[in-house]
Structure 1
Amino acid sequence: MIASGSKSGFFHTRYYIGDSKRKAIFCEYDGSLAGILTYDRTGRGYRRQFCIDLISVEPDFQRMGLGTAMMSLAYKAAVRANCTAISSEVKATNVPSLALMRTHSFAEEEPDELNVVKFLKVIRTVSENPKT
């Protein structure tokens, strides 16, 4: 885990790929970039969904809880953005990412023809949508 007093922590930023605005959570550990989670929001209103595009932790920093910490920050960002669900797609051969999604109770589909597993975690149902 991240030690108190070390040059470690998490920060959010925005970046652009072409005309598409994306957001990222970076994880720093002892002054080194240790991990990144990128995401975007899709849909509007009560159909807004939070999509995790990428989550990666450098091999030297794996099994330290950094992926779980970034997932927790992503969940909080999705709730703040009033999203109804979080989704992600993971290659069926990516064992660490599959384990992370399963640990966080994402529902999963069988791998598709491209060997990609789709994950979904419902944050709230549409009936729980606050009236605006």
Structure 2
Amino acid sequence: MAFAPCISVRDTAASLAFYRRLGFDADSSTSRPGDDIHILTYEGDFVAMIYLNADLKNWLPVLADTHIGFAGMFYLGVDGLEAAFARIAQHAEIVKPVITNHMGQRMFYFRDLDGYVVGINEKARLQASDMGKYA
């Protein structure tokens, strides 16, 4: 199994609505009262789990004093970077506009409702770069 992020959020309904506006889909079939967890996908691929903060802290009490958010970012490779940017920019704070880095990758970054930063990479350029063996 690949590394599977599970992000803690204040309000799952608000977070799911936010991500849906950005073009993501969600599977809420595993969610139930007291265990409000949802699967987030993009273009059919698994991206992350969205978990209600209070329920996550009940599941793992060691996280009881941990704040929502973290110092870091998530990355997502997409087809059609420009279209993704146009859609996401309408609904989210862009914290870094489209750039080309030293490896030729094109990317931009946005912040979600809970402060998580997501970097969007152009999948084809990512795969053609030195990082491609990990994509």
TM-score (norm 2): 0.29
Which structure's residues are more often strand, by fraction?
1
Higher relative contact order (CA 8 A, sep 6+): 2
TM-score (norm 1): 0.30
